[in-house]
Structure 1
Amino acid sequence: MFLNSCQDSVELEQPGIITDDVLFTSATNLNSYLVGSVYASMEPSYEMYLTAVLTDEVKPGRGSGGQEFQLHRLFLDNTDPYTRSIWYQNYRVINRVNRLLEGAANFTPPATDVALYNRVIAQARAIRAYSYLQLETYFSPDMANPSALGVIISTSVAESTDRTPRSTNQQVYDVINADLDYARSILTYSSDRYYVDRGFVNAVSARFNLYRGNTVLARQYAQDVITNCGYGLALATPITTASSGAIGSPTWNAAFYATASSFNPYRNMWTDNARGESIFSLNRLVNGVGVAVGTYYNTNASNYSGVNMWNWGRNLFNLFYKDGDIRRYSYVDPSSVVDNNYMTSPDPRNSDVLVVDKYPGKTSTTTRNDLKIFRLSEMYFILAESAVPADLTLAASYVQSVRAARNYLGTATTPVYTSAQVAYADILKERRIELALEGHRYIDLKRLAIKAGVTMDRNQTDDIVTVSNLANGSHKYTLPIPLAEITANPNAQQNPGY
């Protein structure tokens, strides 16, 4: 009776409804869908946060209520909500790209719209390639093995009845490469960091090829970005101005940490007042879509009183909190309490408060910042890692480029690598510092820790219980396929160990 009485309303065509055959009729509409539905769905902050909590980047803050403690203590299973979010968020983007591509195939644009039509499709396919790379990064047990399990390939609009099994890495890589090759044939380098251009395409290609072990292509695409992007690494200088006073003084702090505009180029990049070295960023307006990434670490504001959910992990903090390193100031709020006796403190969460200030917010909001998806510093590290097997001196020179850009005293020491293991260890350390809280550490430890002869590196004060590190080679360096996916799709094979 209920179904019969509701049937008429179910079958009604509601006034104002926009269906695919109405929406996908012009290049302008395609572009609107790309911006409002595809770009707006991209949300890699889940990967960034899971990486920070699961590795050695953060420790519980004094304002924490226990959120994600189980993840920090390495309890990871197929019901983890952030794992589920990473899986479904990326497939949501892929599905929306597929919808756009199917819609675009249903009409032929006039000659005046062909260029826009092609750019929209190129951007969409590049974003799909990036989403597949994100999925492969977290859910493939071994990206260097083409025959290992990859993720589920979806190149058409998904149906609720789909029961597609996982493909091999190589099959997924073929989709990624086809998308990137198409996008590269259409797009050029641009001055807008918020839209996909050739810089984004080549940065995806560089990271993708590094992860799968093709260092020749990784080096080629990373160098292409550095050579052709039109900007350089964000610098650590100037560190003072005539009116700013001594470093660390109240006057200097007010000028350096100003959200409206700092005098320091590196800090300005993190407050979103300048592009800096950002190849591609997801725009997070004061009011709009997307997670406020700063709230993962500080509920209200990135200072001592901002209800600190997570603070910097002590060993990571020790690496950059030194004279000459601009990250000492740009990453840490001056209201922090730095306890030099933290190892003997009975309560390091209150005595050693290392406030995360890498995401300080924008003017008018203390928690929202653009998400820097690709930066030039990563491209230099890709060049360094790719050079290790053949030329240790060249590898060191690329690392030195980043070190020098981050040093405001002009005394950065050029590394000397005596073996591949020493080089990998130093590159891993430099990536740990420079790319902290940007979603790299988890995959970096998986890829490089054994080659570098190191492990995850938590300090014993990084929790209120006995601290443990995830062992090299652990199956937990690959995320489980979410339970909801396995339940709905029994053909989706689970990863080993879960």
Structure 2
Amino acid sequence: MKNIIKQLSFIALVAVFFTSCEDAYEIDQVGRLEEENGFESIGDLAQGLSGVYNRLDLTPNITFNANFTDEVSIGLDNGGQGLALYAFNLNAGSTASSNFWVRNYSVINAANRVLRASDNIEFDQDDPAALAEFNNILAHTRFIRAYAHFELLTYYSPDMTDDNALSAIIVDFVPDDIFQVISVRNTNAEVYNFIEQDIQFALDNITGNALPNVNPIAALSEEAIHAFRARMYTYKEDYTTARDVLENDLGINAADAGANLATALEYPDVFTDASNAGVIWKLERTIGDTYDAQGATGSVNAGGWAGASFAFINPTLDGSPYLEMDRKLFDELEEIGGVRIDVNVNPTSIIADDVSPSTPRSQDVIAINKYPGSEGQPLMNDLKVYRWAEMYLLLAEVEASVDNFNEVATILNNIRTNRQAVANVSVGNTEDAFAAILRERRVELAFEGHRYVDIKRLGEKANVNIERGESDCVPFGGVCTLESSDYRFNSLPIPIVEFNANPDLRQQQNPGY
């Protein structure tokens, strides 16, 4: 790293005590439990890993990707929630800017603390079972550290495909004192290299679920690591490596698109958590856990039930939806047909036969049903990190990159056939191919935290911009469109909270901010 260390950077400062603001300025507190005292056995290390997992959350991704793009409209029961993001207001003071930065560095800090603690664990290293268990915990921990670094690169690098572009700050240590990093941002190449080292360690050492009494699909697997790699290399546009991961490590190809997917009968159950069909890795949510709460409604600081990103009480018309489905997204779902419309549109919704900017809001109320609830708790559902459907859609991108248009159409039509949808995709050129992929991603991955990143990556290739339904946006100031070339789709801004402690970073703010 090219970092010059002087005093404690805000990223590490906040990450250490992310949930305890009153302690944020006293890093070396008297009587603090150090790792060498708190971690004495491999079992202790596993408990520490459980705490690292618990910091992972996708509700901010779901909220931001929906609210800033064309997935939602302002709901009938909206009391001001999400209006700033809906108006495309995004700057260094925005909640999104600080949330993605601080939250991911909190994850990284927690992982680094477990890794540092591992140096103090004493066990019989000649015992193969103990050594494998120990390394398995480290494999999970280093994967999560890599995952958080990639999240930062994805949202803060203005160009994920340029090795020389500025990226996130690599943090591979635990701060002991207050220091400040002067020349802080690493390049994409440096971050990718760091991630690949952690990922390779994870692949070399993972032996199974490292968390006792946890659903295996909610813990790391070799398939999940390869799914991460497939996403990363596709985002990077290293399509050769992405193809190798998808075809050889994950074992998929264009002809069998649909082989690993949930069936049409299983698909609705996936989103009520009654089935894990087609899911590679998810974050499990249950009654009484850290996230069992409504959370910050209408804010990227969501942190509670995923469905509470859109409604106050439940996903029905009577459940006070404050954000509804964008009318154009509904029209896409209706035109394509199949089981996905039932998963995404609550049956109590009111659908107008024809809409215009003068249509009364009460006559077109499309309630979002993606997170109906589970275990008797409305709006609380598991969060799907990787699904096989996304892997096939990534493979379609790989095929589009080399103008294999028949393969692109085959993949998309096979997915649609599996979803009992209209399988009429045809592709004639590169722009058409990426546009078709974006359209399929929009309906397949709706409200799962992808749309902003998809427009960032593929919008210009596909000549696709944010175009909201006029009946949705005109009553709220006419903020209906945003070009995919706009600087706000290049990256999030580095947050003001970081500048307050690290003023030199202002010189490395992302373009446009």
1:38 to 48, 52, 63: 52
| Matched residue type, 1:396 | A
Within a 5 Å distance, the mapping from 1:61-100 to structure 2 comes to 61-100=75-114
Change (3 A) 1:51 1:92: same
Q: Are 2:210 and 1:195 aligned?
A: no
Matching of residues 2-401 of structure 1 within 5 Å: 13=31, 18-35=33-50, 37-110=51-124, 111=127, 112-158=129-175, 159-163=177-181, 165-187=184-206, 192-224=216-248, 226-227=250-251, 232-236=260-264, 264-290=265-291, 291-322=304-335, 324-343=337-356, 345-347=358-360, 349-390=361-402, 391-401=404-414
Q: 1:223 to 1:414 in 2, by over 3 A?
A: farther
Q: How many residues align?
A: 453
Q: Is the 8 Å Cα contact of residues 132 and 207 (structure 2) preserved in structure 1?
A: no
Cα drift, residue 119 of structure 1: 0.7
For residues 370-426 of structure 1, what are the alpha-carbon distances to aligned partners after superposition, in whole Å with 9 as ceiling and x for unaligned? 110110000000101001133211222222221111116xxx425221111111110
Structure 1 pair 147–97 and aligned structure 2 pair: CA distance change class (3 A): same
Residue 430 of structure 1 pairs with residue 440 of structure 2: yes
Q: Determine helix, strand or coil for the equivalent of 1:373.
A: strand
**TM-score, normalisation: structure 2:** 0.85
| Matching residue's letter, 1:422 | D
Q: Distance in 2 between matches of 1:160 and 1:219?
A: 44
CA–CA separation in structure 1 for the residues paired with 2:150 and 2:119: 25
In structure 1, the residue corresponding to 2:417 is in which secondary structure?
helix
Q: Which amino acid aligns with 1:157?
A: V
Distance verdict in 2 for CA 1:268–1:11, change over 3 Å: closer
Work out whether residues 283 and 383 of structure 2, in 8 Å CA contact, stay in contact via their aligned partners in 1. Answer: yes
Note the C-alpha offset of 1:344.
5.5
Give the match's secondary structure for 1:443.
helix
Instruction: Kindly indicate whether the alpha-carbon contact (under 8 Å) linking 1:163 and 1:490 is maintained by their aligned counterparts in 2.
Output: no
Q: Aligned pair 1:419/2:429, yes or no?
A: yes
Fraction of identical pairs, as percent: 32
Cα offset for 1:226? 4.2
- Structure 1 residue 427 displacement after superposition: 0.5
Classify the secondary structure of the residue corresponding to 1:273: coil
Partners of 2:29 and 2:221 in 1: CA distance:
43
Distance of aligned partners of 1:350 and 1:225 in 2 relative to their CA distance in 1, 3 Å threshold = farther
Q: Is 2:466–2:480's contact at 8 Å kept on the other side of the alignment?
A: no
Q: CA deviation at 1:12?
A: 6.6
Q: Given residue 270 of structure 1, which amino acid in structure 2 is its aligned partner?
A: F
Aligned-CA RMSD value? 2.0
Tell me how far apart the structure 1 counterparts of residues 121 and 47 of structure 2 sit (CA, whole Å): 16
TM-score (norm 1): 0.87
d(CA) in 2 for partners of 1:12, 1:382 = 50
Does the 8 A contact of 1:293 with 1:367 survive in 2? yes
Structure 1 unaligned blocks of 5 or more:
1-9, 237-263
Instruction: Answer yes or no: is the 8 Å Cα contact 2:357–2:470 preserved in 1.
Output: no
Per the TM alignment, residue 189 of structure 1 is displaced from its structure 2 partner at its CA by 7.2
Partners of 1:295 and 1:472 in 2: CA distance: 28
Structure 1 counterpart of 2:440, which letter? E
